[in-house]
Structure formats: C-alpha cells, structure tokens
Amino acid sequence: MMRMALILAMLAPPVLAQPVMSAEEFDRYTQGKTLFYGFDGTAYGVERYMSGRRVIWSFLDGECKEGVWYEQAGQICFVYEDRFDPQCWVFRDTGRGLVAQFEGDPTQTELYEAEEIGEEMLCYGPDVGV
C-alpha cells in the first residue's frame, strides 16, 4: 500500500485539455481492467470493470460494492448496490491515464488513475455473525 501511495504522490494532476470520453471510448479503455484512483496525492479507491458495464468499487478497505455504469448527457454515471442515486463523472484520457471529474464541475472532486502498481483489489466476504 505504501508503494501505491508513493506512486500516486509522484503523479502530477493532468491537464484537462483532453476531450471528454464517450461511453464507447470509456468502455474500450476500461473493460477487463482494474484501475486504482488517487486524489490529492493519496490512494482513493479501486474499480474493476467487467463486461456488460458492470463494476466493483472499493475505497481500499476490503469492502466492495457491485454496480453498473451508463452514459447520460455526456457523463459516465455509476449506480451501486448500496446507493441508488447515480454518481456521474466526466472522464478524460490524458495519455498517462484517466482523469475523472465529478459531474464535470471543476470545483468538485477530481480523481486520477494511478499507473500500473502491481496491487490487487481485495474484497472480503460479508460480515458473519455467530
């Protein structure tokens, strides 16, 4: 995890001069991949992109949420099993990875894709009681 934090800290936030990705471009770029995202130089989360626009998200705490994504008004929107209000982002391919801006608003959260870090996405099973 320390290695990931160092890599994220070294990445400069990319310039947003790149065009917004369409749903087709986003699907081509992400399908079959597991991408780690950073925010302000620290690890933020990880998402696995599967066929049929299905995803699994984790805040790197071992708790994973299944969801789906779709395109709406030029944004990529995610709906997860525990949250039905869509979380919409504008994605750009900077050539060094993706940059995601929440609702396309420059004053909102901006995430950036970490380079390949050799870490795995961990998803622990559901809490089990006695």
pTM for the predicted model, two decimal places: 0.81
Number of domains in the chain: 1
84 located within any domain: yes
- Among 1-15, 60-74, 75-89, 106-120, the range scoring the smallest mean pLDDT is 1-15
Q: Is residue 91 part of a domain?
A: yes
| Residue 98: inside a domain | yes
Mean of pLDDT over the chain: 85
Inform me whether the pLDDT recorded for 19 exceeds 80: yes
Is 96 within a domain?
yes
For the chain, percent of residues with pLDDT exceeding 90? 62
Domain-embedded: residue 14: no
Whether 5 is in a domain gets the answer no
Query: Residue 41: which CATH number?
Result: 2.40.128
Question: What is the domain extent for residue 89?
Answer: 23-113
Classify residue 122: in a domain, yes or no: no
DSSP the chain: -HHHHHHHHHSPPPPTTSPBPPHHHHHHHHTT-EEEEEETTEEEEEEEE-GGGEEEEE-SSS-EEEEEEEEETTEEEEEETTEEEEEEEEEEE-SSSEEEEETT-TTS-EEEEPPP--------------
The answer to whether residue 129 sits within a structural domain is no
